[in-house]
Structure formats: structure tokens, C-alpha cells
Amino acid sequence: MSGSAQPESQQTNTMETDRGLDFLRPVRLEPQQQKLFQSGIKTPILETLDYSTIGKETIMPQINQTPGQSSLFGDGKPNVNLDVDEVRPKGGRMSIEAAEEEKKENKTDDKAAVEQAKGDNELPKDYLMYDTNLIDRQNEEIRMEIEKDSPLISDVLPLDMLEFEFTGNEGFLKKIPVFCNLISSERLLLISTRN
């Protein structure tokens, strides 16, 4: 990694001096960061992590919250002292009867869905009957219409022909006070006009 990082920094450095641009300034690494690059970036936290503590930290720390405590992190320390066995839901398995009842309900729902789908099949599917040629032709017509009214770049026109974009709809500008202030400048008026 160190081999590839150094030539890049040299490259950007020469470019900076050639063109006098600041935004290509090479990133300067602190000595500790350079060591990381040389030895390869490691994640010491993961390596030294004690996996036996993970469960305790991740399972709902809110449970040990005392009634008077406004926030778990109010003191700047998360409250993670909890017993995993205490938190684990008891009787986690659904009873067989309840499961069968739920299955029956699902079956009736499925039947209704199938009937509805059958009904839908009878309807004409217009969205499947589209014609790509028609779409292309319509796009071409729209393009021609736009081109007819506005060439890529027009010939030079006298300023008298310039129309204010919001002529007849000045009331719209009252809704945007900031924009009204901006267009008072001549330069911005030019930009905001219909081109």
C-alpha cells in the first residue's frame, strides 16, 4: 500500500506546482497514519474484542433502565448491565393450536386473493399493449415542436425583443421574495429571462 500511495502524492504535487491549483493539494498524513498505511490498516478493536460480552451489550439495554432515569445515555454512559437470561422471551414457541388457527386464516386470505386475481385477468391489460413505435413517433413530434420554437442557439436578436419571463404572471414573484430581490440586478435579469 505504501508503494502505491507515495507516487500518487508525488504526482499531485507536481500538478499543483505546474498549475498553481490548491484543490489538488496532496493529503499530508500524520506519522501514526503513515505507520498504519505501511503496516496495513488493521482493526485492533475487532481483534481484541471479547465476544462473550457482545450479547449483553446488544440486547435491549433499556430493560435495566430505572424509573427515575430520564435517558439511558443521560450520564454519558450506556446502561448495559443486564442479565441475558432475564431478557430472553420465555415460552418463545407458539402453541400448536394457535399456529393451526393462523394457518387457516392465511388460507382464506389466499383464496380471496386468487379470486381477485382471476377477476383481474378478465380485464383488458392496456398497459401490456403499448407500441414502442408510437412512443418513438410521439417523442419525435415533441422534439420537432420544441426545435421549431427554440433553436439550439438563435441568431443575434435586438434587446427590444427580449421578453421578461414572468410577463403577465408577476404575482408569482410575490411568492418568492428572495428571487424578486435577485432579479433586480440587471445581470441576473438576463439569466432569468426566457432564452
Partner 1 sequence: MKNSYPDYRKVRRDGSCFYRSFLFCLFEHMIKKKDTALIERMIKFVKDSQEYLFLAGYEVFVIDDFKQAMLDQLELISKGYMSESML
Which one of residues 15, 80, 84, 176 is an interface residue with partner 1 (CB under 8 A)?
15
Instruction: Give DSSP secondary structure letters for 135-149.
Output: HHHHHHHHHHHHHHH
Which one of residues 29, 180, 188, 190 is an interface residue with partner 1 (CB under 8 A)?
190
Question: What angle do the packed helices 2-19 and 31-39 form, to 10 degrees?
Answer: 130
C-alpha cell of residue 129:
399493449
Assess 3 for contact with partner 1 (CB under 8 A): no
Assess 154 for contact with partner 1 (CB under 8 A): yes
* Residue ranges in 129-148 that form contacts with partner 1 under rule CB under 8 A: 146-147
Assess 171 for contact with partner 1 (CB under 8 A): no
Assess 22 for contact with partner 1 (CB under 8 A): no
| Structural contact between residues 2 and 38, judged by C-beta atoms closer than 8 angstroms | yes
| Structural contact between residues 6 and 26, judged by C-beta atoms closer than 8 angstroms | no
CB of 105 to partner 1, least distance (A): 53
Which one of residues 31, 157, 168, 175 is an interface residue with partner 1 (CB under 8 A)?
157
In the bound state with partner 1, the residue whose beta carbon lies nearer, of 114 and 142, is 142
45: helix, strand or coil? helix
CB of 194 to partner 1, least distance (A): 8
d(CA 62, CA 87): 10
